[in-house]
Amino acid sequence: MTSSNAYLSGLFSLDGRVALVTGGSSGIGRAVAGALARAGASVVIVARREKELAETVAELTADGCRAAWVGGDLGSRDGVRAAAEDAAAVFGEPDILVNSAGINLRPPLGELGEDVWDATMAVNLEAPFLLGQRFGPRMAERGFGRIIHISSQQAHRAFVQSGAYGVSKGGLESLARSQAEAWSPYGVTCNTLVPGFVMTPLNARLSADPERVAALAARTMTGRNGLAEDFAGAAVFLASGASAYVTGQSIHVDGGLSVH
């Protein structure tokens, strides 16, 4: 190994680590799961759709990665708890937790019912809280942990009917700060990645409107909308030893959209 490769490996390698990625079968979650696995982590993906889960894991194992999947419904407390235990049984207790699973329901606020509110909060905010409660203290006991949440521009600004979705993501970023306060003294960092507009299945409604897609791209400084793979480097950084002094932060990966 050359000196540069050894240096980079020391900074960013995830060899020997175990990662749990919710929503890892599509979109940003899939890209993050792939990045962590290719950086050396043993990755367990939790999501609902078994076909997409199996395809994702097959792709990773074909690349020589150590990966597995667990089907789970994160829309209920019992579902979250069951998925957590099933995931921890595969490769052992995770050192890295990535909360990427989310639902994106956007009725006009005046028509937003309690059912949409409850479903949004359950998946987007309560599941990350419950998973943090399950794994965060154990990470702290071991002296190393990384919790990474995937948020949204709607946590910071209201547009395209942010509704309950924006509220859930604002809460998620606050959750990261609370987790950082609780566990960072024990080696557990907790941070949030904030995407711009990314062409993923979660944004299918907006993606179907070419004019809106072009307008969003024009709001960035790079002149394009995001791709799932844009999150690979940031995720590996936040999951690795390189980010030991970065915690409680919301890191925008958005082509400059948020500062334009």
User: Catalytic residues, which ones?
Assistant: 165
- Burial (0-12, 13-18, 19+ Cβ within 10 Å), 146: buried
DSSP element (H, E) containing 170: helix 163-183
Structure tokens of 166? 């924006």
Identify the bridge partners of residue 190 per DSSP, sorted by sequence position. Answer: 147
CB 61: neighbour CB atoms within 10 A? 13
Q: Are the C-beta atoms of 43 and 21 separated by less than 8 Å?
A: yes
Distance CA 48, CA 100 (A): 13
Angle formed by the axes of helices 114-121 and 163-183, to 10°? 30
- Long-range contacts of residues 76-82, Cβ cutoff 8 Å, at least 24 apart: 76/122, 77/126, 77/130, 80/126, 80/127, 80/130, 80/131, 81/130, 81/134
Look at the alpha carbons of 112, 114, 115, 117 in this order and tell me if their dihedral is positive or negative: positive
Distance CA 1, CA 229 (A): 27
Distance CA 30, CA 42 (A): 14
